[in-house]
Structure formats: structure tokens, C-alpha cells
Amino acid sequence: MIHDREILTILGMLNNEHLDVRTVTLGVNLFDCVSDDLGRLCANIERKIGNLAANLVPLCNRIGEKYGIQVVNKRISVSPIANIAAPFGPKGMVAVAHTLDRIAREVNVDFVGGFTALVEKGIARGDDALIAALPQALAETERVCASVNVASTREGINMDAILRMSHAIKEAAALTADKDGLACAKLCVFANIPQDIPFMAGAYLGIGEADAVINVGVSGPGVVKKAIDRALEADPNMDLGDIAECIKRTAAKVTRIGELIGREVASELGIPFGVVDLSLAPTPTAGDSVGEIFQSLGLISIGSPGSTAALAMLNDAVKKGGAFASSHVGGLSGAFIPVSEDLNIAEAVSKGFLTIEKLEAMTAVCSVGLDMVAIPGDTSVETLAGIIADEMAIGMINAKTTACRLIPVPGKKAGDMAHFGGLLGFANIINVHNATAQGSFVTKGGRIPAPIHSLKN
């Protein structure tokens, strides 16, 4: 039975604490669209997504109004395009990207993800074409997001793929130099990518998923911060175990709301409900920041000593609360620490509390990784590859998802500002230490073998 006080608490979350459903993502399987004719393939893709997604946005808006809960983003994820368009070269891949972008505009979704390749063990013909097409495809489209999985705990790290992706990132940045390298903000390099992420830029519909499915991403960093503040105001002597319990209970409430919306959208569209992604995803809005939670926990700033421990506690408590509230949890399910999309984290970088090395350390205990990190435009391909390889190693060894969304901002250096607009926000460009000391490690190529776990320490 729901207590009156719980209802009032949830109303307070909705009205004052930025509680919303961050994204409803429609996953669409495109394997039945495959053709050996590029024009027919694009027409099949357009027809299938158009039929399934025509009512997605108005339906989300109507259900959001019904419950007084805003669905902030409506998105689409599709099967990996490297597989769907495998017979075609880079020009064909770019044509498919334009088709996806056009459909996204027609059905009015924010982004469409799935311009994706899975190359942790090797690069097939379609993967090769997609990676070659990435810079042009992302520069010439507005709503297409891309991801490439280059490592996994079972297969190791594909260093050839990492070097290819580093070249692609540099080229994508150069093609959008007038927008501070915006194309790179739509591109993620992953280790252990899940098949059901509702969040961009990594969303795609995996091989084992249904023909169409609704996945939901909840958020709520502002809600968690306020819950901690209220609890500490009522009892200043709470220890960290008590605070973790407070976070867990709050995450359960947030998850319930996300699942309610997701199941109703799925029911009305007549397709299965997939998962709730429990991630704490911030926005550039004051009061909706993951970074501010660290201050509520008693740290001077995110990045100061103790931050990794605090993040580990936060991440675990959110997962425990969410897992209690929903039987179908998936995606990334952790706390995001994107530099440009979180006002408090962006300020921590500008004040020197956060370095790229500290960010990397924190990604060992949270999702997703080095997210929306702007770095100097003259960062070399080899240095980029080294940063990505380090992050992939954390994911591979710890059997968790990690990712890099790095933006080498053309013509700018450490300390300058990069502006991406909208949800992507702005970021102070982070210095990359020892960037000139890059040796030949990353250019040796090959695959770093998968780790052994029976001797874990």
C-alpha cells in the first residue's frame, strides 16, 4: 500500500527536482529489410521504421501529459548497419545514414542510433565500410548516432580497430571544425556494449532482441541529490550506509515511474516492453547534475579524493534500488559522468578538480566511461588510440561496459571552451598529459588477448 507521504514525495520530485523519463527508445530490427539493391534497402528501411514510429512521439507526449511526467527524449535504435548494409561500400553506408536521418526528421525523434559495427574480434567487409564512412556520415547528418564495439572480456581488445577509430574521430572532428567537432559527440567507442541501451550515442538493437521493442531510460540525479539533502537535514549523523539506503529507496521510486511509462507506450504501440536502464543521466541544467550529488555526500567537488569511492557507492545503490523495482533491467544502468552534459562536472574540470586521469579512474566503478570529453585539437591519432585502449582495458578486465566519446576540438587547446549546444552543452577542454610521449605501442596492431579470470586478484 502506498503511503500518503510517498505520494507527496513523488509529486515533489515531479514539480521541483527535475524528475522525468529521460528517454523512450523504440528498437527496430532491420534484418528483414536487407536487399542487394541499395535503393531497395533504403526504401525498406524507411517503410518499416515509418510504420512503427509514426505515432511514437505523439503517444509519448500524450502518456506523459496523462501522468504529469515529461518524456524528454524520444529515440529510435536499429540493428547494426554494418550487418544490414554489408554488401555496400562506404558510399552506400553514407546513403543509409542519410535515409536514417530523413526518417528521424519525419517521425520527429531526437536521434536514431545503430550506425554500428561490432569488431572486437575482427573487421568484416561491412564493418570496414561503415568505419570508413563514419566521418562523412556523422558530419552530413544531424540525428544519426554511431557506435563501434572494439573490445570485450571474452574476445580481448582489437587494437587495429582502435587505430582505425582514432583516425575516424580525427577526420570527423575536422569535417565539423566550425561546430567544435560536433560529429564526434555522436560517436562512441565501446567495450562490452549491451544490446538494449536506450541512451545515445550507443543505442542499437542487438541480434537477440525482438522485431520491435520499447526500452526506457530513467534519470533523476536531481531527485537523488534532494533525497540525500533531506535525509541529512533530518538526521545529520547518518553514516554512509544509511545514505546508501536512502539512495536505494529513491532509485526504486524513479524506476517504477519509468517502467509505468514504458509499459504503457509499448502496450499502445502493440509491441513488447524491453528494459529499464537505471542510469543517472544529467543535463546541463542547474539542479540536474550528477556532480552535485558528490557535494551532498560531503566532498568539496567531484574529482577530489574520495570521489571514486563515492561514485562506487552511488552506482551500487542505484542498481540495488532499480533491481528491486523492476524485473527487466538492462542497458548501461549506472551513473553517467559526461563532462559537457553536466554543469557541475564541467565546472570541476575548469577549476582543476577533474583531470582526464581521474575521470578514467572513476570509470572503473561506473557507467559509461570517458563521456563527452573535449581534448585539444592537436591530439595525435596515436595518443587518441592510447586513451581509448586504456579505457577498453578497464572494461575488458573488469567485465563491464566502458566507452569513449572523445572530441578533439579543432583549433583549440587545453583551457579553451567548446560549445556543442542543446543537451550536449559545453565543456572546458581537458589537458592530455604526456601526449607527446606516445611510442609505437598502439601502432603494433593485432589483438590483446582476453584475460584469464580463474587467477583473479
Would you state the pLDDT for residue 1? Answer: 47
- Tell me how far apart the alpha carbons of residues 188 and 181 are, in angstroms, rounded to a whole number: 14
Would you state the pLDDT for residue 13? Answer: 65
Would you state the pLDDT for residue 409? Answer: 96
Would you state the pLDDT for residue 285? Answer: 72
**Which pTM value belongs to this model?**
0.93
Q: Which residues contact 55 (CB under 8 A, 6 or more apart)?
A: 269
Average pLDDT, consecutive stretches of 10 residues, N- to C-terminus, the chain (457 residues): 58 66 94 96 97 95 88 94 96 98 96 96 97 98 97 97 97 96 96 92 91 90 89 93 93 86 92 89 77 92 94 92 84 83 86 92 87 94 96 95 95 92 83 80 93 80
Alpha helix positions (H), 188-306: 221-234, 240-269, 290-296
- Tell me how far apart the alpha carbons of residues 24 and 268 are, in angstroms, rounded to a whole number: 13
- 189 touches 148 (CB < 8 A): yes
Would you state the pLDDT for residue 390? Answer: 96
Would you state the pLDDT for residue 10? Answer: 64
Segment (H or E) for 388: helix 381-398
Architecture of the domain defined by 1-451: Alpha-Beta Barrel (3.20)
Specify the residue for cell string 554494418: 82
Q: Which residues contact 225 (CB under 8 A, 6 or more apart)?
A: 17, 287, 289, 292, 293, 296
First to last CA, the chain: 45
What's the distance, CA 436 to chain centroid? Answer: 30
Domain boundaries, the chain: 1-451
Would you state the pLDDT for residue 255? Answer: 87
Would you state the pLDDT for residue 141? Answer: 97
